[in-house]
């Protein structure tokens, strides 16, 4: 199925789910506020529904986004029920918990049974909707409306591959009614097949050696008013995801091996800014001010350490940290090069002699990293992302594939840090974890990494 069709279907489902979540909250409220429950269980009355109306308006757009973060809309239409039940259960659970926390922090009292009823009712209603949609899709009427007839055009090798892929995805709604060999079919034969089979579209798989014939097929479809889908697999990429875009009226095929611009990405930027601001307000008086005083009182030199690091796509920026080493640490680095325990361009030593006594404590609990919240506020870093390396270390990278870790903003914490960074001594393993994060990025993954970072910090699993 084309991306456009998938997006339209997902948006329709999201609108229906938003309405169902809104109805679920109203039903949960009405159940608790009903005279039957009040009299039967001798419960106190609750506030009027209008008290929660502003939150009600927020719940409607947020709920489908939570389901999307759980992968609820990424599954095939025809899939085992467990692929529906598990992400739906997680989504409803998180939304109900979010409702409870939001009401708690806003000091709006509501009966504890309302969020529980809301989670259960929303789960049941959305699941019933999914079963009804699946039943309609499988019915004769649904099949007649959703199935489309296509003509498959290309070389025998290409058409056989495409035929197998299409048959493996019955939910795509594509029926191959005929196949044509692009090498031995003239334009008149092609047009005749269009008429004989009353096709809805043509799937054209063509290499660069057949561009002239492919162009003739596309022009014939244009005249006939029939859709033509050109399979643009001229270049064999391994990890890039492709999409067709528009550049001032010209069609552009985009190859991307990093997360593309999306609503999740926009939400991530908002979370970075708000999260960094809140953490600064909390950690400033509790940790940062005492740390700054300790550094100033126990060693000579500036409180902050500034260094050029490589940011998004290698763009240099100045990173801020609390100084944890002697002021001549950079000069001593060359003398200690033989003690480096990390393979590759990175320099790391256990019990580094350049670290001050206070610096050792700051590193143990990652307090030295807190000034980087300023980098997050400035948009140079994110809360979660690959750790930024010094510019000179990036220049020493010999494997160009390792530079793909620069394709996203660097972060305060990452998969490497919560996966036992002190035990990882090979730079290739470090990069592997960073690329694993990039290839599987989602808001949910960021959330899991942040959760795992908290115990890692409090347990003192700090830097070397």
The DSSP call for residue 340 is -
Per-domain boundaries in the chain = 3-140, 147-234, 263-458
Closest CA to 29 of 93, 92, 109, 135: 109
SS3 of residue 150 by DSSP: strand
What's residue 134's pLDDT?
Answer: 87
Name the CATH topology of 147-234. Rossmann fold (3.40.50)
Report whether 131 contacts 179 (CB < 8 A). no
pLDDT at 272: 93
In this prediction, residue 238 carries a pLDDT of 67
Q: Tell me the CB-side half-sphere exposure of residue 331, using CA atoms within 13 A.
A: 3
Give backbone dihedrals phi and psi of 16, rounded to 5 degrees, phi first: -65, -40
Alpha-carbon 257 to chain mean position: 13
Residues contacting residue 68 through CB under 8 Å, at least 6 positions apart:
10, 14, 264
Give me 452's structure tokens.
């795992």
* pLDDT of res. 280: 93
pLDDT in tens, the chain (464 residues): 566 677 788 888 999 999 999 999 889 888 877 766 655 656 666 677 777 777 777 888 889 989 988 889 888 777 788 888 999 999 999 998 888 887 777 776 677 778 888 899 999 999 999 999 888 878 877 766 677 889 998 888 888 888 888 888 777 778 888 888 887 778 888 888 888 888 888 888 876 656 778 888 888 888 888 888 888 766 666 677 777 776 667 777 777 778 877 788 888 999 999 999 999 999 989 999 999 999 988 888 899 999 999 988 888 999 999 998 887 777 777 667 667 767 777 777 777 778 888 888 888 888 889 999 999 999 899 999 999 999 888 888 888 778 888 888 999 998 887 776 666 777 888 888 888 899 888 888 999 899 888 887 777 555 55
The predicted pLDDT at position 276 comes to 93
* 205-250 pLDDT per residue, tens: 876 656 778 888 888 888 888 888 888 766 666 677 777 776 667 7
* pTM passes above 0.85: no
Q: Which residue has the tokens 């890692």?
A: 456
**Tens digit of each residue's pLDDT (9 = 90 or more) over 406-423:** 888 999 998 887 776 666
Q: 334-355, pLDDT tens digit by residue? A: 667 667 767 777 777 777 778 8
3-class DSSP state for residue 248?
coil
């Amino acid at each position: 199925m084309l991306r456009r069709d998938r997006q339209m279907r997902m948006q329709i489902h999201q609108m229906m789910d938003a309405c169902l979540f809104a109805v679920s909250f109203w039903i949960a409220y009405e159940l608790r506020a009903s005279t039957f429950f009040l009299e039967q269980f001798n419960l106190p009355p609750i506030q009027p529904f209008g008290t929660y109306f502003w939150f009600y308006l927020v719940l409607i757009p947020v709920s489908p986004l939570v389901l999307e973060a759980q992968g609820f809309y990424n599954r095939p239409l025809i899939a085992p029920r467990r692929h529906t039940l598990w992400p739906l259960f997680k989504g409803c659970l998180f939304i109900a918990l979010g409702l409870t926390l939001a009401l708690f922090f806003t000091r709006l009292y509501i009966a504890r049974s309302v969020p529980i009823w809301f989670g259960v009712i929303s789960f049941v209603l959305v699941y019933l909707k999914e079963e009804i949609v699946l039943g309609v899709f499988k019915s004769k009427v649904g099949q007649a409306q959703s199935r489309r007839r296509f003509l498959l055009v290309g070389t025998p090798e290409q058409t056989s591959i495409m035929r197998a892929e299409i048959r493996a995805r019955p939910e795509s709604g594509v029926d191959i009614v005929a196949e044509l060999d692009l090498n031995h079919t003239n334009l008149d034969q092609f047009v005749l097949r269009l008429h004989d089979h009353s096709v809805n579209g043509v799937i054209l798989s063509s290499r660069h050696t057949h561009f002239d014939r492919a162009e003739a097929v596309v022009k014939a479809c244009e005249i006939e008013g029939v859709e033509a889908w050109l399979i643009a697999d001229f270049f064999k990429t391994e990890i890039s995801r492709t999409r067709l875009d528009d550049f001032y009226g010209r069609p552009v095929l985009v190859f991307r091996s990093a997360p593309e611009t999306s609503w999740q990405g926009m939400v991530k930027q908002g979370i970075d800014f708000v999260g960094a601001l809140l953490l600064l307000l909390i950690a400033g008086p509790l940790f940062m001010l005492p740390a700054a005083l300790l550094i100033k009182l126990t060693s000579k030199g500036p409180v902050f350490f500034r260094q050029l690091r490589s940011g998004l796509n290698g763009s240099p920026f100045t990173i801020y940290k609390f100084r944890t080493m002697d002021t001549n640490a950079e000069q001593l680095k060359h003398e200690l090069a033989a003690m480096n325990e990390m393979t590759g361009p990175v320099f790391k030593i256990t019990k580094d002699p350049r670290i001050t006594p206070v610096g050792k404590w700051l590193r143990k609990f990652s307090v030295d990293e807190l000034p980087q919240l300023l980098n997050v506020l400035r948009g140079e870093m994110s809360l979660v992302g690959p750790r930024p390396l010094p510019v000179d270390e990036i220049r020493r990278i010999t494997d160009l594939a390792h530079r793909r870790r620069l394709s996203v903003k660097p972060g305060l914490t990452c998969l490497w840090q919560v996966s036992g960074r002190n035990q990882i001594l090979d730079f290739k393993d470090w990069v592997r974890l960073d690329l694993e994060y990039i290839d599987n990025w989602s808001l949910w993954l960021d959330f899991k990494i942040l959760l795992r970072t908290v115990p890692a910090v409090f347990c003192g699993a700090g830097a070397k």
